[in-house]
Structure 1
Amino acid sequence: MQYRRHQLSANVSILFTEYDYLDRFAAARAAGFDAVETWWPFATPTPPRRSLNEFLAAVDSAGVRLTGLNFWAGDMAAGQRGMAVHADRHDELRANIALVADIAATTGCRHFNLLYGQLASEQSPGAAAEVAAEAFREAVAALRPLGGTILLEPLAHDLNGAYPIRTIGDALSFLDDYVDAAGTALLFDTFHLGHNGEDIVAAADTHAARIGHVQIADDPGRGAPGTGELPIDACLDALARAGYTGRVGVEYKPSTPTTSASLTWLRRTNTPA
């Protein structure tokens, strides 16, 4: 499925939630998507092999490509947003990185979102960055030989606790100053960036060369494109003009009873300016 010159992927952690998780891959395919992405689909960093096999089989049988995957980020439902800054969780994260590498080898997935994590009250930003950099370097070492890119995502400032990566500048400064930027890239999410006041059109033009993946949702509300105030079409056009050729992940919260019913935005004028 294509929109404004960009090939799309469906994030099945937030779309098609009217289906059981393992059925969402087939639902995405039936709706016209040939690629999917997902947050870490298990409660633990290293699930039982049977659960992993069921996940891989669901992707394969649906006939879709897995093009994006989050590393384990803790208990997302409870508000956690990553473990990179928490040295006491690095053993778990290290085991997860090894498993993600196995998934990459099996599926051909090449883009992996490593959420930075929320600072503990006693952590200084500099000390936290040193800890997080260690996790990022380990992820790069495991995935780069497979052609993988480790993504860093700024998140909405008032919805994700003490998560310090909020702007494109925050993300690129961390990658450049603390991590060898090779093998890493920015995850450009229109909802999070727009919510935090970034001009997403100007940013798309300025930072296209540093963007490894794009996700779209509107703001306010994190709904489908066109339900809020963000210039998403103009942003996508700017990315195309600037040479971004990667996938665009569809990652919004449908306001309709079914995800398929929310896809009317795809039928708008679909010719880039």
Structure 2
Amino acid sequence: MVDSVADLKTKIDAYLAQNIQTDIDQTTLGQAMEYSLMAGGKRLRPALTLATVETLGGTLNDDVMKAATAVELLHTYSLIHDDLPAMDNDDLRRGKPTNHKKFGAGMATLAGDGLLTLAFEWLTENNLPATTQAALTLALSKAAGPAGMVAGQARDIEGEHQHLTLDQLRYLHRQKTGAMLRYAVLAGGIISDQPAATRQLLADFGAAFGLAFQIYDDLMDVLGTTAQMGKRVHKDAGEHKNTYPGLLGVTGAEEQLHLSIHQARQLVDQLNSETGHDFAIFNEFLAYFKL
């Protein structure tokens, strides 16, 4: 039986809370790392990995939990650094003061550095097969690195005060947001040792979900409230960010969101057909997008 998304989140929160301090050897650094990691969050990335493993018949033992939750460490690092004064200079994240507001910019930078490197420690310090560890490490480093998330962040910075085309915007977000969500689903296929064709379908679903996630986030910056989002809203336009509503208007952005969700649902049907497993849990993830 596959856990619900809510049940997976509970398991992820418990695992992170129990294990985050194990490999940290400086008190303030540990407090700063734990502060952002345990400040809340949807845990969508590790939940996607775990849901994929369970759907494909795997068991969520301690080794799988450790490898799967590594992506949340890396995701949290990216949020800490994204909020820094040199980047977006945000003072609110998940309804709480951002890391640099509480610990200072220097310690916040180190907290992000610590979470980034600890993620790769968790991917490899477990009892999964060495080939699985290597494949996960390579996939995550590509998704998070200078051809993935970091490249997307660089494009975002350079794109300010420029008017990107839809293709350019889609490419930016495929790297900035989509690469990590694509990895999260692919990781489930790697952990459960799926053939290349299945891994590709999983990666494609993750990419479609990632695009929908970014469009939805852009829309909620326009339509949502600070209380809903846990961070400042209505700031993208003021900072001259390239967004889907900014380029296409709210209606056009909503149309792009629906297209991405439709593509994701088609991939769910294809996964069901080609693997013989029921990926209904993916539809539960897609229910996140509510306007």
Shared fold (TM-score, shorter chain, > 0.5): no
Q: TM-score, normalised by structure 1?
A: 0.29
Q: Higher helix share goes to which structure? A: 2
Q: TM-score, normalised by structure 2?
A: 0.28
